[in-house]
Amino acid sequence: MNMRFLVDRRFLLTCLFMAVTYVATPSSASALTVKEVVKDLACPCECPLVLEDCNMTCGLEWKNQVGEMINKGMTKQQIMDYFIGKYGDDARITPIQRIHGKIYQYTRSFDTIDWVLLWAGLIVWVFLMFFGVYIGVKKLFLNKSQDA
């Protein structure tokens, strides 16, 4: 009976060790990607795009540099600090810079507000067209009935 207790104890310790190792090991799903880093960087050239959306030579070179840095094991903050240290605050995309011209590419899909505004505008337009036609037809028939 004492031997069985030792075997069960070893088994439980092995299972516990494997569970802790599994949880402590970073998964590939949490690995840093180029897209995660470049969405917060402005394109280095004069184009009005965020680096994530730029497909010009300068933007592609920066994206390649970011990929190389990720492969070296650098964190997002280290990569951001490198580009900001080398190119200044123009490399960082901030709300102020977005106002001053660095924007997301216009070909991105609509977000919720854009869809709401689109449908609200369409509904208002249909409503106005319906009542415009209704009032026009009503006046047309009133004028005919008064003429007769």
Q: What is the pLDDT of residues 65-111, one digit of tens each?
A: 999 999 999 999 999 899 889 888 777 776 665 555 555 554 455 66
> Could you tell me which residue, 38 or 26, shows the higher pLDDT?
38
Contacts of 47 (CB under 8 A, 6+ apart): 54, 56, 59
Q: Is the dihedral of CA 103, 105, 107, 109 positive or negative?
A: negative
pTM of the model: 0.47
Least confident of 50-54, 65-69, 103-107, 129-133: 103-107
